[in-house]
Amino acid sequence: MEWNENNEFKKIKRELSIKTIVKIIIYSLLTMLLLAFLVDVIYNDELANSVIRMNERFYYFCVMNKETIISVTCIIIILGYMYIFLRKLIGNIEIILIAIDKLLKNPEQEIDLPESLLSIENRLNKIRIDLITSRNEAKEAESKKNDLIVYMAHDLKTPLTSIIGYLTLL
């Protein structure tokens, strides 16, 4: 059972990692293409004219280091995307922790998580059912123990009452 649970955790971890990495790569590539297209095609003349009017040395610096400036800009954008997606991932972890707290405080209420966390939702609901079953079994065992004590007390009391009655007669 533990081997299967460990594989399920690895599967969830792998899915989340792959989704996050793929999103970062796709968004980063699209942003780099859009940035290159905007800088080189659409706003090339406007940017060049406005920069050369501001400072001619800065214009030549930008022309000579164009690839570096675009690369640094893309790296900053990639870091921004990583921050956004990691923040979302941490948000999912917070949702799971809230669901676990809810499970511990009120196990009768079913756990409901977003669609992306469906396998974790199923797992938590299975744990919820196991917890309810365990609590019911514990209550039943406690009830049986109390009944056993009552019956034993009655069974011991009946012969003792007879013995006391015989002794009183004697």
pLDDT tens digits, one per residue of 12-32? 778 878 888 888 889 888 888
The pLDDT-based confidence of 142 (bands split at 50, 70, 90) is very high
Element (H, E) at 46: helix 44-54
User: What separation in angstroms does the CA of 53 have from each of 39, 50, 69, 169?
Assistant: 17, 5, 19, 127
Cite the beta strand spans of 45-168 per DSSP E.
Answer: none
Report the distance separating Cα 82 and Cα 75, nearest Å. 10
- Please name the residue ranges forming H helices in the chain: 2-37, 44-54, 56-64, 66-105, 118-169
pLDDT at position 5 is 61
Report DSSP letters for 15-34, one per residue.
HHHHHHHHHHHHHHHHHHHH
